[in-house]
């Protein structure tokens, strides 16, 4: 069902983004993967070592409009379409509000919110012309509730993303373009200052499980929209709205 489609995946150097790239490649998707360091080229080699072809890798900053536009146009030129965008790149700062610097505030919003905006903006004309496309944004379960401590900045960015994508979904629906969010809870990755595989994360979600959720969302019949998908491990307790 996905075979031959074209996807851009941001933040694909490792963790959830790399798992998403692998999951889509398994189903015959042509890929452009981006990351903020040269590690993204290693991800490309890893995928090619698994036997997957039609993969481009770009070291690109999601906060820079020109770089984003270059990635999107290069993808369109190479593959002739952009069917799927996965906004995955993100950063986290865990500090009490009085300890957050203005620089940290700006940088986190630039990556988590501006990056989503720039890629969504760049693919929109292509998808509107195609009269089809799916935009999936990896947000967080904190887009619907507030972390109790040291989470004000990260939570603020995810609320912003949730509102932005909700409006974009309504704006683009008439063109056959879907925009949705996947909002995971605790996932065992190297996100923040933690390390993947720590004993405390044994019962957390795994990156490949989130990747399967992305594939399920983009594989949904074209007449069906999955607006939001929330995932969390049984071990995670949090207030529900």
Active site members: 154
DSSP 27-53: TT-EEEEEESSTHHHHHHHHHHHTT--
Among 214, 72, 89, smallest CA distance to 129 is for 72
Q: Between helices 15-26 and 39-49, what is the axis angle to 10°?
A: 30
> d(Cα 63, Cα 45) in Å, to the nearest integer?
25
What is the three-class DSSP state of 64? coil
Tell me how far apart the alpha carbons of residues 97 and 95 are, in angstroms, rounded to a whole number.
6
């Amino acid at each position: 069902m996905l075979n031959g489609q074209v996807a851009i995946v941001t933040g694909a150097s490792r963790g959830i983004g790399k798992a998403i790239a692998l999951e889509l490649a398994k189903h015959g998707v042509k890929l452009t993967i981006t990351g903020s360091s040269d590690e993204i080229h290693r991800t490309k080699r890893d995928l090619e070592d698994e036997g997957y072809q039609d993969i481009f890798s770009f070291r690109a900053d999601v906060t820079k409009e020109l770089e984003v536009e270059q990635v999107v146009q290069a993808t369109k030129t190479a593959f002739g379409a952009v069917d799927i965008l996965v906004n995955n790149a993100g950063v986290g700062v865990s500090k009490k509000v009085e300890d957050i610097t203005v620089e940290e505030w700006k940088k986190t919003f630039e990556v988590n919110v501006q990056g989503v905006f720039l890629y969504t903006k760049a693919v929109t004309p292509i998808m509107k012309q195609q009269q089809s496309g799916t935009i999936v944004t990896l947000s967080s379960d904190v887009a619907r509730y507030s972390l109790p401590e040291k989470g004000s900045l990260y939570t603020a960015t995810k609320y912003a993303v949730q509102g932005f994508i909700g409006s974009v979904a309504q704006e683009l629906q008439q063109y056959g373009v879907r925009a949705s969010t996947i909002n995971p809870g605790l996932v065992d990755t190297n996100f923040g200052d933690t390390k993947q595989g720590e004993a405390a994360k044994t019962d957390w979600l795994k990156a490949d499980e989130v990747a399967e959720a992305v594939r399920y969302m983009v594989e949904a019949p074209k007449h069906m929209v999955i607006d939001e998908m929330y995932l969390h491990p049984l071990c995670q307790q949090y207030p529900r709205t």
